[in-house]
Amino acid sequence: FSVYVLLSLTNGCYYIGSTGDLPGRLVQHNSGGQQVDQIRSTVEVVHREKFETLPQARLREAAIKSWKTPTCMRDLLRIPEPQ
């Protein structure tokens, strides 16, 4: 299972999620298969962490989502600032 951080190439927004099938999830995101993606457009993975179980991944996802700002998330995960 993976926790991932996606970056919208259209507007620079981040999307945080967890899944057991990251390649399949990317296809869903980039095809507009999620309501949120119809606004955010094409995304790329900027961070990924692997876990043994989905509950572990979901706990980490919740922790990352609790960080207050995108800048804080980028700093803590060492994600470069978007261009």
Of the pLDDT bands very low, low, confident and very high (cuts 50, 70, 90), residue 8 is confident
**Beta-bridge mates of residue 81:** none
Nearest by Cα to 7 from 62, 60, 73: 73
Work out the average pLDDT over 19-42. 73
Asked whether 14 and 81 are in contact (CB, 8 A), the reply is no
Helix (H) or strand (E) holding 46: strand 43-50
Decide which of 29 and 57 is more confident: 57
Task: Give phi and psi for 6, each to the nearest 5.
Answer: -105, 150
Work out the average pLDDT over 9-31. 86
Look at residue 5 in the predicted model and tell me its pLDDT: 92
Q: Is the pLDDT score of 40 beyond 70?
A: no
Task: Give phi and psi for 52, each to the nearest 5.
Answer: -70, -35
Q: Which of 29-38, 45-54, 66-75 has the lowest mean pLDDT?
A: 29-38
Work out the average pLDDT over 12-17. 88
